[in-house]
């Protein structure tokens, strides 16, 4: 089970890490339309999975709870915003800046846990967060403005994780509800774009159509792999393996798509990477030295 969990995690993180290649193939499609298709096709695929697993009645029962709808509406807005910022960044030539957002996201998540959940931080966690903030400040001075793309990705995904931490549904049911909340607005927007003669679907070639429809598959498969991994291996290891994704994205931006990465930017990223090394080593050490606990119970996907 442990080995299978590692393989699931590696699969999910490598797929996410190679996402820029996928979105670059359809960069001629406006980002907002790509997100509309990603939402619509993801919901269709997730609904099919629910039907196959005979869990649709379970989700339908939860929809009558207004508190659940509020929680998942907020989650839907956050994940939709995150998807849009990321696709726009990739197709606008900001892959490196997008990768920075996912490098600092775990540190931001720890800080949000401190602020909103009253979690206590250890000394080296404070040091890592301080270094990451210093790195962002350095890059802000270098850019002449805040790295809005990086911060937008980090904050939307960080707050999304915070909301999901208190969300009551299983991961599969939760994501289906989130995409379901966005489904009708997404389809309405795409229909309006088509009516105005601006729609890309069925107008830009078969390959583009397949890639737009495939966005649902590319969204749900790595996510379900990630959830399966989280059920099988320690969350500390899940967190460490997380850095595969932004590392792949960073390397694609520099080596494949030729985005600028000069000396000053390298210094800023280097400060953030040092923070991540401290954070990762400290977390691994804390996990190794912690007293043994009973195995956690995970919700079914």
Mean pLDDT, the chain, integer: 87
pLDDT for 236 equals 61
Q: Is the model more confident about 292 or about 260?
A: 260
pTM equals 0.88
Cα distance between residue 49 and residue 39, in whole Å: 15
* Helix ranges restricted to H, 196-243: 206-230, 235-241
- Only one residue has tokens 């301080």, namely 130
How confident is the model over 26-81, as pLDDT tens digits? 999 999 999 999 999 999 999 999 999 888 888 888 888 899 999 999 999 999 99
Report percent pLDDT > 70 for the chain. Answer: 92
pLDDT for 58 equals 85
CA distances from 198 to 28, 81, 90, 191, 203 (A): 12, 22, 21, 10, 9
User: What is the mean pLDDT of the segment spanning 87-91?
Assistant: 95
Answer yes or no: are the C-beta atoms of 233 and 9 closer than 8 Å: yes
Question: For the chain, which residues make up each domain, given as ranges?
Answer: 2-289
- pLDDT exceeds 50 at position 263: yes
Least confident of 7-11, 41-45, 142-146, 246-250: 142-146
- pLDDT exceeds 50 at position 300: no
User: What is the mean pLDDT of the segment spanning 78-107?
Assistant: 93
pLDDT for 292 equals 56
- pLDDT exceeds 90 at position 256: yes
User: What is the mean pLDDT of the segment spanning 75-93?
Assistant: 94
**CB within 8 Å of 80: residues ≥ 6 apart:** 35, 39, 182
pLDDT for 213 equals 94
pLDDT for 267 equals 93
Cα distance between residue 252 and residue 274, in whole Å: 21
pLDDT for 243 equals 86
131-146 as b/e: b if 16+ CB within 10 A? bbbebbebbeeeeeee
Burial class (CB in 10 A: 0-12, 13-18, 19+), 247: middle
Instruction: Supply 274's token pair.
Output: 């040092």
User: What is the mean pLDDT of the segment spanning 91-100?
Assistant: 94
- pLDDT exceeds 50 at position 295: no
- pLDDT exceeds 80 at position 294: no
- pLDDT exceeds 90 at position 291: no
């Amino acid at each position: 089970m442990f080995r299978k969990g590692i393989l699931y995690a590696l699969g999910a993180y490598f797929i996410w890490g190679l996402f820029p290649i996928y979105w670059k193939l359809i960069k001629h499609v406006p980002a907002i339309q790509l997100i509309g298709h990603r939402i619509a096709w993801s919901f269709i695929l997730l609904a099919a999975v629910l039907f196959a697993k005979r869990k649709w009645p379970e989700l339908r029962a939860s929809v009558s709870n207004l508190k659940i709808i509020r929680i998942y509406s907020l989650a839907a807005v956050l994940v939709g915003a995150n998807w849009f910022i990321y696709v726009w960044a990739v197709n606008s030539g900001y892959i490196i800046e997008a990768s920075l957002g996912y490098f600092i996201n775990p540190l931001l998540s720890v800080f949000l846990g401190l602020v909103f959940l009253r979690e206590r931080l250890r000394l080296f966690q404070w040091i890592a967060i301080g270094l990451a903030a210093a790195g962002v400040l350095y890059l802000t001075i270098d850019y002449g403005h805040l790295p809005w793309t990086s911060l937008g990705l980090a904050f939307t995904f960080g707050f999304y994780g915070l909301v999901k931490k208190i969300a009551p549904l299983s991961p599969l049911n939760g994501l289906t509800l989130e995409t379901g909340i966005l489904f009708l607005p997404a389809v309405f927007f795409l229909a309006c774009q088509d009516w105005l003669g601006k729609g890309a679907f069925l107008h830009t070639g078969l390959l583009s159509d397949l890639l737009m429809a495939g966005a649902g598959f590319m969204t749900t498969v790595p996510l379900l792999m990630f959830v399966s991994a989280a059920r099988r291996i320690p969350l500390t290891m899940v967190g460490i393996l997380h850095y595969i994704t932004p590392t792949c994205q960073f390397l694609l931006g520099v080596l494949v798509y030729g985005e600028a990465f000069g000396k000053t930017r390298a210094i800023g990223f280097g400060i953030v990477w040092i923070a991540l090394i401290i954070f990762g080593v400290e977390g691994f050490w804390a996990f190794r030295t912690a007293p043994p606990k009973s195995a956690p119970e995970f919700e079914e996907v």
